[in-house]
Amino acid sequence: MLYQVEMTVLLPADMDEAQAAEIKAREKAYAQDLQCQGIWRHLWRVAGSYSNLSIFDCRDNAHLHEVLTGLPLYQWMKITVAPLCRHPSSIHEDDR
């Protein structure tokens, strides 16, 4: 099942720079692993903000929840989720 996920990162202004860098490095590795597995299908940065718009391919809602709560930056994120389904007028069979 495909999901549109919007994530905005809101790190505390007083967070130690070394701690922030370490968390961001773990986030990048986790995100790239999910992309290699085909779970995190698309990842776009929202220009001008510390946000992204992504497409996830998960088994179900519980799987998506597991993936998102596994993000190292999760506790500092505002996340919105919209489940997606194929549009009947689409000429494409998939989202690739």
Cα within 13 Å of Cα(78), Cβ side: 6
Per-residue pLDDT of the chain (96 residues; tens, 9 = 90+): 999 999 999 999 999 999 999 999 999 999 999 999 999 999 999 999 999 999 999 999 999 999 999 999 999 999 999 999 988 898 888 766
For residues 60 and 50, what is the distance between their CA atoms, to the nearest angstrom?
27
d(CA 6, CA 78): 8
Q: Which domains does the chain have, with CATH numbers?
A: 2-9+16-84 (3.30.70.1060)
DSSP 46: P
Its pTM stands at: 0.91
